[in-house]
A and B are shown apart, each in its own frame.
Chain A
Amino acid sequence: MSKFRKGGKKGIPGVNTSALPDIIFMLLFFFMVATTMKEVDMQVEVVKPEASQAVPIENKDDVDFIYIGFPIDAAVGTEPRIQLDDRLAPNTRAVGEWKLLKVREGKTVVKIVTSLKVHEDVGMRLVSDVKEELRDINAIKINYSADKVK
């Protein structure tokens, strides 16, 4: 019977791992394609409201983002604050100056959309002040950021 089983010890062969790099590369490429770079480090917590009518922002290069939410760092306080790029703004006046500094070459401030990413529990007082400030410098195109729901 043992015609085909010639004696000698038989170990279990090791798993061939030569395809492992390929699998990892595939995952890597998936993430490179499916994600976008984070714009800023968040200093405020923003839980965006939901909206069924929200439409994706198409040309992200022509959009400035303003974040309004509750500070993550407890030492700053608990009142809602405005974040411009990576910093917290000292007051609403700073919004106008910041927006004017960010105007791209060959564009006017009217053409550049300002996306407001506001925490849903923030009061309208602060949002309204920011809008008034933007209106003063003629940055009238705004976009209320929201999570798209069906």
Chain B
Amino acid sequence: MARREVGEINAGSMADIAFLLLIFFLVTTTMEVDAGIGRQLPIKLENPPDINIEINKRNVLEIMANSNDQLLVENKWIEIDELYDIVLDFYTINKVNKDVDINMPNYTDVDVNICNTEINKLNVLLEKDPENIVFKTEKNKWETKMILCKSIDGGSYKEMNKQAIIQLKNQGGTSYGLYMEIQNILKQVVNELRVLECERLGFPDYFELKEQNPDDQEYIAKLRVLVPERIIESKIDR
């Protein structure tokens, strides 16, 4: 029998098949990358501790946004682009020189001795009430501060007043866009200051630090002590 030539397969419609697949992917997928600003909401405690401390007005930066998207910061009407400088001042104005602006929070030196006395005080309290979550977190914080002090030349660092907080107040009609602009500015100031601290203390690049990475957790804990990010959001006015 004579060998029969195998006919070539017609590949002309290959392009059409590929086109079909291409169009399928074009329709079902998106190009956008999900990005955002991460925040943590305060934990709801079942028995909130009865805290009744008098808070010095200088330690609170009050940012209020009303339903017309106007900003009132420290009882002054401001534009959104002025906010950055105010927040930066809140963090840094009294850091190098004491009491440059007495309406902004003060800084105090923290060294190993102070950490030790605080930890001892908390140990006594924890002996009486071993399950108290407030004391436990407080003790953790002081232990981080202790490690931080030991790792810095001179054994001390400047700590922002412990009560220093940024208070955000919104109204029901405040637009989410404005809220995000405020959040973005707060994040920007903290990020920039933390980058500076990283450079000063020879830490790795701040934006490369990952919370999942055990090696980085210590750096992150230290940076949180050096540049605290304490934002309180009040219930909105209805």
**Interface residues in chain A, defined as those with a beta carbon under 8 Å from any beta carbon in chain B:** 17-18, 20-21, 24-25, 27-28, 31-32, 34-38, 49, 51-57, 60, 63, 68, 113, 115, 118-125, 127-128, 131, 134-136, 138, 140-148
Report B's interface with A, CB cutoff 8 A.
Answer: 11-12, 14-15, 17-19, 21-22, 25-26, 28-31, 33-44, 67, 170-177, 179-181, 183-184, 187-188, 191, 207, 235-236, 238
Closest residue on chain A to residue B26 by CB atoms: A31
B180: chain A residues at CB < 8 Å are 49, 51, 120, 144, 146
Task: Contact check, A49 vs B11: say whether CB atoms are below 8 A apart.
Answer: no
B43 with A138: CB separation less than 8 A? yes
Can you report 20 residue pairs joining A to B where beta carbons are below 8 Å apart? A20-B15, A24-B15, A28-B21, A36-B29, A37-B30, A51-B35, A51-B36, A55-B36, A55-B207, A122-B175, A123-B67, A123-B172, A124-B171, A124-B176, A125-B236, A128-B172, A135-B42, A141-B38, A141-B40, A145-B35
Decide: A49 near B31, CB < 8 A? Known: A28-B22, A125-B173.
no
B22–A53 CB distance below 8 A: no
User: Known: A25-B18, A127-B179, A135-B42. Contact between A35 and B35, CB under 8 A?
Assistant: no
**Smallest CB separation, A12 vs chain B (Å):** 20
> B177: which of A21, A27, A120, A148 is its contact (CB, 8 Å)?
A120
B29 in complex: contacting residue of A37, A49, A54, A141, CB < 8 Å: A37
Chain A contacts of B184 at CB under 8 A?
Answer: 51-54, 146
What is the minimal beta-carbon distance from A51 to any residue of chain B, in angstroms? 4
Question: Which residue, of B21, B31, B35, B191, has the highest number of chain A Cβ atoms within 10 A?
Answer: B35
A113 touches B38 (CB 8 A): yes
**A37 neighbours in B (Cβ, 8 Å):** 28-30
How long is the Cα–Cα vector from A25 to B181 in the complex, in angstroms? 43
Known contacts A35-B30, A51-B180, A141-B38; 17 additional CB pairs below 8 A are A17-B12, A21-B11, A24-B18, A24-B19, A37-B28, A37-B29, A49-B181, A51-B37, A51-B187, A57-B35, A123-B173, A125-B236, A135-B41, A138-B43, A140-B42, A146-B184, A148-B33
Instruction: Indicate if the CB atoms of B36 and A124 lie closer than 8 Å.
Output: no
Q: How many angstroms between the C-alpha atoms of A27 and B24 in the bound complex?
A: 12
Nearest-neighbor residue (CB-CB) of B189 within chain A: A53
Docked pose: A49 CA to B175 CA in angstroms: 10
